[in-house]
Homo-oligomer: A and B are copies of this chain.
Amino acid sequence: MLQYQAPIRDPEFLLFDLFRVQDTWAGIPSLQAFTPDLVRAVLEEAGRLAGNVVAPLNQSGDKEGARLEQGGVVTPQGFAAAFAALAEGGWLGLSGNPLYGGQGMPKALAGLIEEMFWAANTSLFLYGTLTVGAAICIEAHGTPEQQALYLPKLYAGEWTGVMALTESHAGSDLGLMRTRAEPQADGSYRVSGTKIFITSGDHDMASNIVHLVLARLPDAPPGTRGISLFIVPKFVPDAAGKPGPRNAFAPGALEHKMGIHGSATCVMNYDGATGYLLGAPHQGLAAMFTMMNYERLSVGLQGLGAGEIAGQQALRYARERLQGRGPVSERIATSDRAAAADPLIAHPDVRRMLLTVRALTEGGRAFGLMAGMALDRARHQQDAAAESRAELLTPVAKAFLTDRGFECAVMAQQVFGGHGFVREWGVEQLVRDARIAQIYEGTNGIQAMDFIGRKVLRDGGAVLYALLDELAPQPVAPAHAAVVADAFTRLRRVTSTLVTRSAAEPALPGAVATDYLDLVGYTLLGWLWGRMAALAPDDEFGAAKRQTADFFFARLMPRALALEASVLADQRSVAASMG
């Protein structure tokens, strides 16, 4: 019963009216080809594929699940064909380097498309997004031979990629890792160890699977400075790229999970598997982080997609389901006085939920785009300030968008009443699937600590202030200007207080990290909503935007007040012994 219709008008509005990317892209040779007409065509084609090919497999994939058989992982029915359609259409190498078969698409655009596939079928798209991450890592750190051997296959979706980091005792703390790599006479390595939570560690949709495995060399220093990265292919290819003998590793089990049942989450056993060093020895964590940052923004977009598809189901249900009477002034045009009841959408509390989902999702989409644009500027214009900005925004995108995505999925489920708790309508699955995004690719707590520590306090807030300085002069809708200006002032004051206080209170940053990250998220969403209200066109779409902006400022922006008070409070109760 799940249905998904990809948003097209909203992405176009964000790209061309809100951020005017056409002005930027026209000045960048590698992006000039992405004219508004091409962008519309690409969005529409992606939307068709997401809605018609990928989304219909979402519920069946959850029900069937990925399973481990004698020969390896079997994916749910239809997944392989849909994945092939994604690969053949070039949808797996969106922002990949065209030299190796990627589409060379700006991340700003690619992110909007990723959101569609995440929304349509999170489990299926997981097989693709990690492939892109692996390719980015090999492009950044591989030898020319490695690049030539792996990248065309990965961007084509012919082979897929895997990140193998976690071990049972080493989750967020990778320094505890035990997997070992022994150098061999031929320059290769033998990799041995067990990794857990390995997404897409095995499956039946590609002719080869390229694992990027973190392991320790014999001479490795302890902790995170002694970890190296290895390319460990399922079938070891010859120099021409022809997959050869089966490598010495295999899935030992699949995890039984709360959600994303269609995605194979493997325990992987590497038993002296043949691997090839990627990048410099002992520099594996830094190399892996190239991939991690990309993945983190993408996981943020997963949260966004979860909110979007859940909200679509709730809106449809609220228009169809007849229950009770709404207050007179609320009754909408479609409400029939002769009918026994009004549609759910006539009830203000239901509208509150629908508008919350809309405000957080559309605001989050604008925020994700802002992060994507920073990545584009860093990459295509070699802009160091943009690089810092991308690093600032990435953990916020990951944590804020996935926390809001889960909130939206739960709220959409609530609109269904009891029907939201049973499988039939599919929204309970959306909640179960959305939950993982807050956990993997670095828990949201890890994101918050990274954000406050490395991205804000380390430079005394400079990169954040520079962002606020750039945004503040751009006019927002007059009705919201005072609130936005006040929110910026408050955020500066809170930040400067934290910079000062944290010198004397080592526990402070961690204690307030999550609330501070959210405070930044709502403050930036405030600017984005104020700006969107200012630039919304004079039509039905624009009217809805302004209404949603009004709702955001009335009902959601106040959350920043609570977060500010929480961050500025005395934190001794967090530091005191818990026995």
Chain A residues packing against B (C-beta within 8 Å):
166, 169-173, 175-176, 196-197, 255-259, 265, 322-324, 326-330, 332-333, 340-341, 345, 347-355, 406, 410, 413-414, 417-424, 428, 431-432, 435-436, 438-440, 443-445, 448-449, 505-511, 513-515, 540, 544, 547-548, 550-551, 553-556, 558-566, 569-579
What DSSP secondary structure best describes chain A's contact surface? helix
7 A-B pairs with CB atoms under 8 Å apart are A171-B418, A173-B341, A326-B507, A347-B449, A414-B443, A421-B435, A561-B565
Shortest CB distance A292–B (Å): 15
Say yes or no: A257-B422 contact (C-beta < 8 A), given A510-B347, A573-B355, A576-B547.
Answer: yes
Do A554 and B578 touch across chains, with their CB atoms under 8 A apart? no
B residues in contact with A438, CB < 8 Å: 414
Shortest CB distance A18–B (Å): 20
B residues in contact with A428, CB < 8 Å: 257-258, 435
Which B-chain residue is minimally distant from A445 (CB atoms)? B349
Which B-chain residue is minimally distant from A522 (CB atoms)? B562
Do B349 and A514 touch across chains, with their CB atoms under 8 A apart? yes
| Distance A571 CA – B547 CA, assembled complex (angstroms) | 11
B residues in contact with A169, CB < 8 Å: 322
| Distance A414 CA – B439 CA, assembled complex (angstroms) | 7
B residues in contact with A257, CB < 8 Å: 421-423, 428
| Distance A445 CA – B412 CA, assembled complex (angstroms) | 13
Do A506 and B431 touch across chains, with their CB atoms under 8 A apart? no
Shortest CB distance A175–B (Å): 8
Do A327 and B554 touch across chains, with their CB atoms under 8 A apart? no
Say yes or no: A540-B579 contact (C-beta < 8 A), given A348-B507, A562-B558, A570-B550.
Answer: yes
Say yes or no: A258-B421 contact (C-beta < 8 A), given A323-B171, A330-B507, A550-B572.
Answer: yes
Shortest CB distance A325–B (Å): 9
| Distance A258 CA – B424 CA, assembled complex (angstroms) | 10
Shortest CB distance A13–B (Å): 16
Chain A to chain B: the 10 pairs with minimum beta-carbon distance, closest first: A348-B510, A558-B565, A554-B569, A550-B573, A562-B562, A258-B428, A327-B506, A551-B573, A348-B511, A173-B323
Shortest CB distance A515–B (Å): 7
Which B-chain residue is minimally distant from A428 (CB atoms)? B258
Shortest CB distance A544–B (Å): 6
Say yes or no: A423-B256 contact (C-beta < 8 A), given A506-B328, A511-B352, A575-B330.
Answer: yes
Say yes or no: A555-B566 contact (C-beta < 8 A), given A418-B171, A436-B421.
Answer: yes
B residues in contact with A347, CB < 8 Å: 445, 449, 510
Shortest CB distance A272–B (Å): 25
Shortest CB distance A283–B (Å): 21
Say yes or no: A258-B432 contact (C-beta < 8 A), given A551-B573, A573-B355.
Answer: yes
Of the residues B349, B432, B509, B515, contact of A449 by C-beta under 8 Å: B349
| Distance A347 CA – B574 CA, assembled complex (angstroms) | 10
Shortest CB distance A513–B (Å): 5
B residues in contact with A355, CB < 8 Å: 573-574, 578
Of the residues B255, B551, B558, contact of A422 by C-beta under 8 Å: B255
| Distance A574 CA – B347 CA, assembled complex (angstroms) | 10
| Distance A246 CA – B398 CA, assembled complex (angstroms) | 58
Do A348 and B575 touch across chains, with their CB atoms under 8 A apart? yes
Say yes or no: A548-B561 contact (C-beta < 8 A), given A258-B428, A515-B555.
Answer: no
Of the residues B419, B444, B445, B578, contact of A332 by C-beta under 8 Å: B578
Of the residues B166, B196, B327, B506, contact of A507 by C-beta under 8 Å: B327
| Distance A413 CA – B513 CA, assembled complex (angstroms) | 18
Do A574 and B561 touch across chains, with their CB atoms under 8 A apart? no
Which B-chain residue is minimally distant from A340 (CB atoms)? B176
B residues in contact with A348, CB < 8 Å: 507-511, 513, 571, 574-575
B residues in contact with A443, CB < 8 Å: 414, 417
